[in-house]
């Protein structure tokens, strides 16, 4: 798989400290030591040394930039955003800061903020293909399919054999009802990918997104047969079986995904949903809690846990989960409605009426989302069951 994305590590900017020459030399030597550690992927040492640089020179934008890179590579995206925001305050003219800031938001799957960062880079550097690729993929992940096509199309020659690019473009064209273009992208995807498990996973996921469930089933079953340990293959096959009403088969696939990718939260969320459908709120709650322990920013897991608690007769605890779900997805009418129901069962009539009113105000938008995602589990769009395209997954 071709990966366009690379992490940007800026070289040291001139020390900004007003201390004497000795301190300036100490700062420079320490910064270079930290960069060597970062290049060697010794992230704990690099983090410690960059913090020491900042103790000597609190105005070192370069130290904040590289500290942000350390945080990105160690999956601490909130810390990365904080460090890079400080770097941008100190050196607003450095475009590499926005590129790394966009990467942090992209990996955090906050695609709206990633879009804003990558757009700033592309506006300043129109020929930057990396920023264009990342911006286009951010649009794709945010379901802004026309913007994604418009942004990614200029890369068609250099990315003509890149599986993630062809996958994203094929889905975008399909969502835009441009059938011939979509079929052309998938034909190129097959030609570029060969008969590999990853190709069948991408095709299966593409068909899944386009609600061609039988085609998705065929491709994902091939992926699992060729490589039973391929991450996300069992998960997506389970989603297909769930849509087709084959709940026992779906449960087995979600459990197989847990064995393959025990740190991936989606399989626990989907298994929890099945337990709810099967009338077992206790096991459902355990699954949703496991999902949230891996990723606390999953509103569907929060809402699922609340539903399980309501079935167990614990409305006060359900309210706490639903309040978090609403904070994460404030435009979701379904979550406001569920929160109103939970407030009512907990005896808080005033709060219940407020949430019901919010749900009513959002109803038209919710119906539109439901129409776009007819087979989804809620009114909000189904999350992608693959990592954001093009981002290397470090071992």
CATH code for position 49:
1.25.40.10
Residue 131, in any domain of the structure: no
Q: Report whether 97 contacts 84 (CB < 8 A).
A: yes
Taking residues 181-199, what's their average pLDDT? 92
Residue 341, in any domain of the structure: no
pLDDT of residue 363: 76
Q: Which residue's entry shows tokens 């084959």? A: 246
Residue 345, in any domain of the structure: no
Q: What is the C-alpha R_g of the chain?
A: 23
pLDDT of residue 2: 36
Residue 190, in any domain of the structure: no
- Domain containing 35: what range? 19-108
pLDDT in tens, 235-292: 999 999 999 999 999 999 999 999 999 999 999 999 999 999 999 999 999 999 999 9
pLDDT at 43 exceeding the cut of 60: yes
Residue 95, in any domain of the structure: yes
Q: Report whether 390 contacts 133 (CB < 8 A).
A: yes
Q: How many domains does the chain have?
A: 1
CB within 8 Å of 223: residues ≥ 6 apart: 197, 198, 200, 201, 204, 230, 233, 237
What is the percent of the chain where pLDDT is above 70? 87
pLDDT of residue 10: 43
Which is higher by pLDDT, 218 or 209? Answer: 218
What is the percent of the chain where pLDDT is above 90? 77
Residue 245, in any domain of the structure: no
Residue 30, in any domain of the structure: yes
Residue 359, in any domain of the structure: no
The model carries a pTM of 0.77
Produce one character per residue of 152-180: b if its CB has 16 or more CB atoms within 10 Å, e if not. beebeeebeebbbbbbbbbbbbbbeeeee
């Amino acid at each position: 798989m071709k990966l366009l994305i690379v992490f940007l590590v800026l070289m040291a900017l001139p020390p900004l400290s007003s201390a004497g020459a000795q301190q300036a030399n100490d700062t420079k030597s320490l910064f270079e030591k930290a960069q060597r550690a970062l290049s060697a992927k010794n992230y704990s040492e690099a983090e410690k040394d960059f913090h020491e640089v900042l103790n000597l020179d609190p105005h070192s934008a370069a130290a904040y930039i590289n500290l942000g890179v350390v945080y990105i590579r160690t999956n601490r995206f909130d810390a990365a955003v904080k460090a890079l925001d400080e770097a941008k305050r100190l050196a607003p003219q450095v475009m590499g800061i926005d590129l790394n800031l966009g990467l942090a938001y992209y990996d955090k799957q906050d695609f709206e903020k990633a879009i804003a960062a990558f757009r700033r880079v592309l506006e300043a550097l129109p020929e930057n293909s990396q920023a264009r690729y990342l911006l286009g993929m951010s649009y794709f992940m945010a379901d802004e399919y026309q913007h994604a096509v418009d942004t990614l199309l200029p890369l068609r020659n250099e990315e003509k054999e890149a599986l993630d690019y062809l996958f994203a473009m094929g889905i975008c064209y399909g969502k835009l009802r441009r059938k011939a273009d979509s079929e052309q992208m998938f034909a190129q995807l097959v030609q570029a990918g060969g008969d590999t498990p990853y190709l069948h996973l991408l095709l299966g996921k593409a068909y899944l997104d386009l609600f061609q469930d039988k085609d998705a089933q065929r491709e994902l079953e091939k992926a699992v047969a060729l490589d039973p340990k391929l991450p996300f293959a069992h998960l997506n096959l389970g989603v297909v079986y769930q849509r087709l009403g084959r709940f026992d088969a779906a449960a087995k696939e979600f459990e197989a995904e847990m064995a393959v990718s025990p740190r991936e939260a989606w399989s626990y969320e989907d298994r929890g949903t099945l337990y709810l459908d099967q009338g077992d709120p206790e096991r459902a709650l355990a699954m949703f809690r496991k999902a949230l322990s891996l990723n606390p920013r999953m509103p569907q897991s929060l809402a699922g846990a609340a539903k399980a608690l309501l079935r167990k007769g614990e409305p006060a605890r359900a309210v706490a989960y639903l309040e978090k779900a609403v904070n994460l997805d404030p435009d979701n009418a379904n979550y406001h409605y569920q929160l109103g129901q939970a407030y009512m069962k907990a005896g808080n009539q005033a709060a219940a009426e407020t949430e019901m009113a919010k749900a009513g105000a959002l109803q038209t938008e919710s119906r539109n989302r439901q129409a776009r995602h007819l087979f989804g589990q809620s009114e909000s769009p189904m999350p992608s069951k693959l990592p954001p395209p093009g981002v290397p997954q470090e071992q």
